[in-house]
């Protein structure tokens, strides 16, 4: 980044002190072409992203307690290991409601989205989780 700043300062300094009339094509090529190449390389490096980050994450298992947040009508999972909170994206109100009322920690297998706070539950305590209809 500092090399670009030095080149730009050199061009501005030359234009300012020579009135712009002494600038020739060779001098412009020596400054602007490398500057354009560096800027192009930096832009190309910044836009490349690995393909793995574009969609879903792999499944993981953790212990957590399920709770119901009435004002938002959402089911949340408060993870104990890892200590994190997730919004359940495929809620089964009957099953999750019973677990929320019990207050017991359960073993949950699921995966998150890119936002990492939205959880899609796959299993609870080793049993297949039905989820809501149309959640798959």
72 and 97 share one domain: yes
CA distance linking residue 50 with residue 34, whole number of Å: 28
**84 versus 29: which is more confidently predicted?**
84
Whether residues 122 and 79 fall in one domain? yes
Helices (H), 19-104: 25-47, 93-102
Looking at the DSSP bridge assignments, the partners of residue 86 are: 77
One domain, residues 80 and 124 = yes
Residue 51: per-residue pLDDT: 41
pTM of the complete model: 0.53
Domain, as residue range, for 22: 2-48
Q: Identify whether residues 121 and 98 lie together within a single domain.
A: yes
Judgement on whether residues 34 and 68 belong to the same structural domain of the protein? no
**Domain harbouring 77, CATH code:** 2.40.50
- Note whether 66 and 35 are same-domain residues: no
Tens-digit pLDDT profile for residues 18-59: 555 555 666 666 777 777 777 767 766 665 544 444 455 678
Residue 41's alpha-carbon distances to 7, 10, 24, 26, 33, in angstroms, are: 16, 21, 26, 23, 12
């Amino acid at each position: 980044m500092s090399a670009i700043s030095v080149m730009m300062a050199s061009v501005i300094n030359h234009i300012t002190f020579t009135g712009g009339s002494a600038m020739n094509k060779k001098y412009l090529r020596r400054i602007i072409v490398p500057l354009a190449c560096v800027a192009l390389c930096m832009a190309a490096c910044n836009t490349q992203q690995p393909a793995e980050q574009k969609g879903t994450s792999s499944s993981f298992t953790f212990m957590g307690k399920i709770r119901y947040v009435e004002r938002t009508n959402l089911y949340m999972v408060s993870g104990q290991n890892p200590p994190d909170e997730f919004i359940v994206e495929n809620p089964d109100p009957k099953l999750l409601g019973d677990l929320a009322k019990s207050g017991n920690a359960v073993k949950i297998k699921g995966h998150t989205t890119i936002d990492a706070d939205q959880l899609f539950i796959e299993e609870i305590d080793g049993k297949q989780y039905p989820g809501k209809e149309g959640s798959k």
